[in-house]
């Protein structure tokens, strides 16, 4: 049986809590049957862990977000390390200079420490990088292990090629469906089939035809269908390829 997988979603956010079951049933109706839920702190992690009891197809990733770098303590990092075996990946972690680039050093330190935790425990990492392409690349090259997923990839075609050279995976979000998303479309077309993943990053970046509304994990289907069109292939075939990629990246231990 094949199905769509949302490799990055925030369905543990407050806005989904009241109708959590309903959002997952809409996902099921759209043949979205596996979800990687991203946790940014201990509270989100514990909530998601509890949901996983009821929905075993939920995967959990956990990492401290760059913009929270100021508040993350050594204790927080110890906590992450103490639960790391229950995770499919450490993330999302990385650098974000969009709103505030004054704390670059704090962000870099946190990023490196989390890459080291992942490496010690042989876990893949999920990378968030915004307006910080060069620093992200330099740090990954020096500190990351083999399994790196560039989430919601929105950097240049040139950067994508650099990451592919390192063997990294590239994930596309709803942005690729936007009319004006020339570079993401080009990237999605060019990325090797065995190096790609798709995601919603919900609640943000709602794909066409729901742009303007709140995003939800079911909509990863529209990201997949759009990319199938761009790559001129059968959606079913793409779906199977994406399942294989996801399993190779998250499930297989090297």
Q: Name the site residues for Ni ion (rule: CB under 5 A).
A: 201
Helix (H) or strand (E) holding 197: strand 196-198
Q: Minimum CB separation from Ni ion for residue 154, in Å?
A: 12
Bridge partners (DSSP) of residue 188 are: none
Q: Minimum CB separation from Ni ion for residue 72, in Å?
A: 17
Structure tokens at 105: 């050093």
Please state the φ and ψ torsions of residue 50, each to the nearest 5 degrees. -65, -40
64 vs 228, beta carbon nearer Ni ion? 64
Among the residues of the chain, which ranges form H helices?
A: 14-17, 20-29, 42-54, 74-83, 104-120, 133-143, 157-165, 182-190, 220-230, 235-246
Give yes or no for a contact between 167 and 194, defined as CB atoms under 8 angstroms apart: no
40 vs 228, beta carbon nearer Ni ion? 40
Q: Minimum CB separation from Ni ion for residue 244, in Å?
A: 23
- In whole angstroms, what is the distance from residue 243 CA to residue 20 CA? 24
Q: Minimum CB separation from Ni ion for residue 9, in Å?
A: 8
Burial of 54 (0-12, 13-18, 19+ CB in 10 A): exposed
44 vs 201, beta carbon nearer Ni ion? 201
Q: Minimum CB separation from Ni ion for residue 152, in Å?
A: 7
211 vs 231, beta carbon nearer Ni ion? 211
Q: Which of 63, 61, 97 has its CA nearest to residue 77?
A: 63
4 vs 228, beta carbon nearer Ni ion? 4
96 vs 201, beta carbon nearer Ni ion? 201
Residue number, nearest CB to Ni ion: 201
Q: Minimum CB separation from Ni ion for residue 7, in Å?
A: 10
Q: For 61-124, give the DSSP string.
A: EE---GGGGGG--HHHHHHHHHHGGG-SEEEEEEEE-SS--TTHHHHHHHHHHHHHHHHHTT--
Q: Minimum CB separation from Ni ion for residue 105, in Å?
A: 23
- In whole angstroms, what is the distance from residue 107 CA to residue 103 CA? 6
Residue 150 Cα to chain centre, angstroms: 7
51 vs 96, beta carbon nearer Ni ion? 96
């Amino acid at each position: 049986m094949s199905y769509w997988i949302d490799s990055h979603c925030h369905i543990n956010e407050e806005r989904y809590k009241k109708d959590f079951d309903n959002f997952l049933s809409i996902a099921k109706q759209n043949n979205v049957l596996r979800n990687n839920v991203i946790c940014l702190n201990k509270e989100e992690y514990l909530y998601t862990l509890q949901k996983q009891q009821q929905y075993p197809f939920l995967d959990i990733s956990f990492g401290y977000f760059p913009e929270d770098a100021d508040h993350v303590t050594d204790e927080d990092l110890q906590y992450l390390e103490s639960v790391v075996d229950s995770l499919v990946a450490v993330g999302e972690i990385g650098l974000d200079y969009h709103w505030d680039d004054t704390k670059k050093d704090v962000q870099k330190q946190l990023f490196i420490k989390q890459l080291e935790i992942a490496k010690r425990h042989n876990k893949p990492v999920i990378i968030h990088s915004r307006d910080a392409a060069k620093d992200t690349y330099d740090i990954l090259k020096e500190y990351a292990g083999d399994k790196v997923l560039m989430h919601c990839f929105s950097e240049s075609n040139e950067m994508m090629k650099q990451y592919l050279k390192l063997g990294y995976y590239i994930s596309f979000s709803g942005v690729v469906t936007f009319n004006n998303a020339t570079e993401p479309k080009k990237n999605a077309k060019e990325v090797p089939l065995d190096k790609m993943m798709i995601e919603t990053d919900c609640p943000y970046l709602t794909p066409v035809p729901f742009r303007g509304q709140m995003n939800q994990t079911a909509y990863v289907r529209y990201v997949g269908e759009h990319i199938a069109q761009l790559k001129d292939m059968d959606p079913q075939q793409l779906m199977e390829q994406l399942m294989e990629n996801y399993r190779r990246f998250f499930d297989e231990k090297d």
